[in-house]
């Protein structure tokens, strides 16, 4: 009955791409979450990246120089992460889709982005994680949005890889001003002391994969990693849908719109 009703509504009110409003109505099956053109214009992060923070590198020769290569920020010891990957640049249709998903409740966009990202990353996934932990929201933002966007990505990855996910092992202990507009050191200071591990015995020895929608400076994930390692985690990795990195090709990305 529900399927018939959905098909009827698709006929009466043809589905449209929520990003560009292109007609997505089809004769059979459920319309995709966004159109093919928007999908093609989502810029993927390809090529060599820093093994620790996932920042794109101008040349693979830097990685060939030695297995221990790290970017400048990571060499300065500013991260507790053991590895990070983001799939898209936070620009164009990707930014629009994440905003619609995150702030306007377009769940299908979130699931579509997660499926696209995970489907492309899964064959070359370098991290042997044993537990997935979505980066937690504070209680105010969780009530306001009604969901945590990081859970959508984490659940999708858990289903594909068969890695268990937990929602209550790391929590936010206080609300802080949004990170939008803050620089690297300001973000680190702003987020310091915001997380708590509720059951350290369940974290000890785990290889944790954090999931989140967007990585900017990595300050939030870095603080999560610090607390998790303090509680005995063996490794902490991050997988994000998008990163506000500067492309080696010169693509400008707006951090202030997060």
The pLDDT tens digits for 75-130 are 877 789 999 999 999 999 999 999 999 888 888 888 889 888 887 666 667 788 99
- Continuous segment of H or E residues that includes residue 121: helix 107-121
Would you state the CATH architecture of domain 37-257? 3-Layer(aba) Sandwich (3.40)
**76 vs 135: CA distance, rounded Å:** 24
Q: What is the pTM of this model?
A: 0.84
The pLDDT tens digits for 155-172 are 988 998 899 999 999 999
pLDDT at res. 257? 47
For range 16-24, the mean pLDDT: 88
**255 vs 169: CA distance, rounded Å:** 29
pLDDT at res. 187? 65
Local confidence band at 6 (pLDDT 50, 70, 90 cut-offs): very low
252 pLDDT above the threshold of 50? no
**CA 105 vs CA 18, 145, 147, 204: distances in Å:** 12, 7, 8, 35
For range 128-138, the mean pLDDT: 93
Domain ranges in the chain? 1-31, 37-257
| Closest to 106 (Cα-Cα) out of 73, 149, 158 | 149
The pLDDT tens digits for 27-66 are 456 778 889 899 999 999 988 888 888 888 887 777 777 7
pLDDT at res. 158? 92
Half-sphere exposure of 170 (CA within 13 A, CB side): 33
Q: Which of the given ranges, 105-114, 212-221, 229-238, has the highest pLDDT on average?
A: 229-238
For the chain, give the percent of residues with pLDDT over 90. 39
pLDDT at res. 189? 67
pLDDT at res. 23? 85
**97 vs 108: CA distance, rounded Å:** 10
236 pLDDT above the threshold of 90? yes
2 pLDDT above the threshold of 50? no
pLDDT at res. 82? 93
């Amino acid at each position: 009955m529900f399927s018939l009703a959905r098909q009827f509504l698709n006929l009466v009110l043809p589905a449209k791409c929520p990003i560009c409003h292109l007609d997505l109505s089809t004769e059979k099956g459920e319309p995709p979450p966004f159109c093919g053109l928007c999908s093609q214009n989502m810029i993927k992060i390809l090529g060599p990246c820093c093994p620790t923070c996932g920042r794109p590198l101008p040349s693979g020769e830097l990685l060939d120089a030695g297995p221990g290569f790290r970017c400048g920020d990571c060499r300065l010891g500013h991260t507790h992460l053991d590895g990070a990957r983001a799939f898209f640049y936070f620009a164009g249709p990707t930014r629009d889709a994440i905003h619609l998903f995150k702030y306007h409740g377009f769940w299908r966009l979130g699931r579509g982005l997660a499926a696209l990202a995970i489907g492309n990353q899964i064959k070359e996934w370098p991290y042997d994680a044993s537990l997935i932990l979505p980066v937690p929201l504070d209680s105010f933002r969780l009530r306001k949005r009604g969901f945590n966007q990081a859970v959508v990505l984490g659940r999708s990855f858990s289903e594909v890889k068969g890695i268990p996910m937990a929602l209550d092992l790391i929590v936010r202990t206080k609300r802080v001003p949004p990170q939008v507009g803050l620089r690297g050191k300001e973000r680190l200071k702003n987020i310091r002391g915001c997380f708590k591990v509720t059951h350290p015995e369940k974290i000890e020895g785990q290889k944790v994969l954090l999931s989140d929608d967007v990585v900017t400076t990595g300050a939030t994930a870095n603080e999560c990693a610090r607390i998790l390692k303090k509680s005995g985690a063996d490794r902490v990795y991050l997988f994000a849908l998008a990163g506000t990195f500067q492309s080696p090709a010169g693509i400008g990305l707006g951090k202030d719109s997060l």
